[in-house]
A and B are shown apart, each in its own frame.
Chain A
Amino acid sequence: MAIESAAAAGHAAHVDGHEHPGWSTYWKIAVILFVITAVEVSAFYIPAWETSWVYVPSMLTLSTIKFVLVVMYYMHLKYDHKLFRSLFTGPLIVAALTLIGLMFLFSKLSIRLGLLS
């Protein structure tokens, strides 16, 4: 499927025409990814952090940052045509909402509605 129009590729190698960043950006991202992962894993072993209410939100935030960095820089969404951004974020939003909806329906999440609950 992927190489379907291989013949066409020869004509327009890099038609999107947007400049991708180079080594100088890529290694910085790699370092940040490494540091965040190290922080996450150490947090797991720090009881004061691990048992506090901050733990889960901080873990989710840190992994979201990693997710966004890889998608924006390594997958070039920051630089490529904006179409690709919508092709990815649209389904991602539907997927996230479905996941959150299922969490509510299976009582893994709940909202407190004052006297109602």
Chain B
Amino acid sequence: MTATTLPAAGDAAHGHGHHYTTLGLDNRKIAIWTFIGSECMLFASLISTYLVYKGRSIKGPFPHEPWTDPVSGKAFPAILDIPVTSASTFVLLMSSFAMVLALAAVQNKNLPKVTLGEKILGSSKLWLWMTCLMGTAFLGFQAFEFTAFIREGLSIRTNLFGSSFFTLTGFHGAHVAVGVCWLFSLLAIDYKRGLQPSDATNVDIAALYWHFVDVIWIVIFTLVYLIK
């Protein structure tokens, strides 16, 4: 026997267009899920550090208890603002709702729309705008929160709580900011040439990223803000 070769896959390899995939899934979607899995470890490290350092700061201000500076005699209230953060949490949760409707609108672009409800639900621009605006609003809340803390005397350098709090929530905020830029880019494409059902995967991976950032906030909100 001399050189050997294998039988060609023939038709089996041509069933899905010219780019054969083993599972018939889109590569981009597998990659984004892998990325999200990796991000789980990123946020697990950040959250672990926050929890490990909880209650270890040797001076205030503290998240849930008031504190009086023994040197200057200045009094600091408990620094976390639960009502404001509850509002921003609500906004972020609803942005996920808008995002899922945006994806559905892109997927169903070609379905006929008769009633007003169908027209509203079928507008990818509307729901992308809603998501972007709510994401931006969340960032606005965060900017408000951060500047308020700094005014009250808690910066990233003040104590362990400041360092771990600003880094954890800042990392999350940076993820939201990236998501907002991503969604605005999709919106720009939608205005330029209209997002079609063939773009659904591109919207889908942005949506997965967006929802993931949302679930991370669900965890952060409970662990950092609500549990003392």
Segment 171-212 of B: residues with Cβ below 8 Å from A: 197-202, 205-208, 211-212
Residue contact A87 to B28, C-beta cutoff 8 Å: no
Segment 25-52 of B: residues with Cβ below 8 Å from A: 25-34, 36-38, 40-41, 43-45, 47-48, 51-52
By the criterion of a CB under 8 Å from any partner CB, how many residues of chain B are at the interface?
66
Q: Which of B33, B52, B99, B228 contacts A106 (CB 8 A)?
A: B52
Segment 73-117 of A: residues with Cβ below 8 Å from B: 73-75, 81, 83-84, 87-88, 90-92, 94-96, 98-99, 102-103, 106, 108
Residue contact A103 to B51, C-beta cutoff 8 Å: yes
Given A8-B19, A13-B201, A40-B222, CB of A102 within 8 Å of CB of B52: yes
Given A6-B202, A13-B197, A103-B51, CB of A87 within 8 Å of CB of B41: no
Shortest CB-to-CB span from A33 to chain B, Å, is: 5
Main secondary structure of the interface of A (DSSP, over half): helix
By the criterion of a CB under 8 Å from any partner CB, how many residues of chain A are at the interface?
61
A102 to B97, CA, bound (A): 34
Residue contact B29 to A84, C-beta cutoff 8 Å: yes
Binary flags per residue of A37-70, CB closer than 8 Å to B gives 1, else 0: 1001101100000100001100110110011001
Residue contact A59 to B100, C-beta cutoff 8 Å: no
What residue of chain A has the Cβ atom nearest to residue B85's Cβ?
A41
A108 to B197, CA, bound (A): 49
Residue contact A3 to B33, C-beta cutoff 8 Å: no
A41 to B18, CA, bound (A): 53
Determine if B130 is an interface residue (Cβ-Cβ < 8 Å). no
Interfacial chain B residues near A20, Cβ < 8 Å: 103-104, 107
Given A15-B26, A23-B121, A102-B48, CB of A9 within 8 Å of CB of B40: no
Shortest CB-to-CB span from A25 to chain B, Å, is: 9
Binary flags per residue of B82-100, CB closer than 8 Å to A gives 1, else 0: 1000100110011011011
Given A23-B101, A40-B222, CB of A4 within 8 Å of CB of B52: no
Q: Which of A29, A66, A70, A81 contacts B25 (CB 8 A)?
A: A81
Given A11-B16, A74-B96, CB of A1 within 8 Å of CB of B218: no
A34 to B43, CA, bound (A): 24
Measured CB to CB, the residues of A under 8 A from B are 1-6, 8-17, 20, 22-23, 26-27, 29-30, 33-34, 37, 40-41, 43-44, 50, 55-56, 59-60, 62-63, 66-67, 70-71, 73-75, 81, 83-84, 87-88, 90-92, 94-96, 98-99, 102-103, 106, 108
Measured CB to CB, the residues of B under 8 A from A are 16-19, 21, 23-34, 36-38, 40-41, 43-45, 47-48, 51-52, 54, 82, 86, 89-90, 93-94, 96-97, 99-101, 103-104, 107, 121, 197-202, 205-208, 211-212, 214-215, 218-219, 221-222, 226-228
A–B Cβ pairs within 8 angstroms, 5 of them:
A2-B205, A8-B27, A33-B93, A44-B82, A108-B52
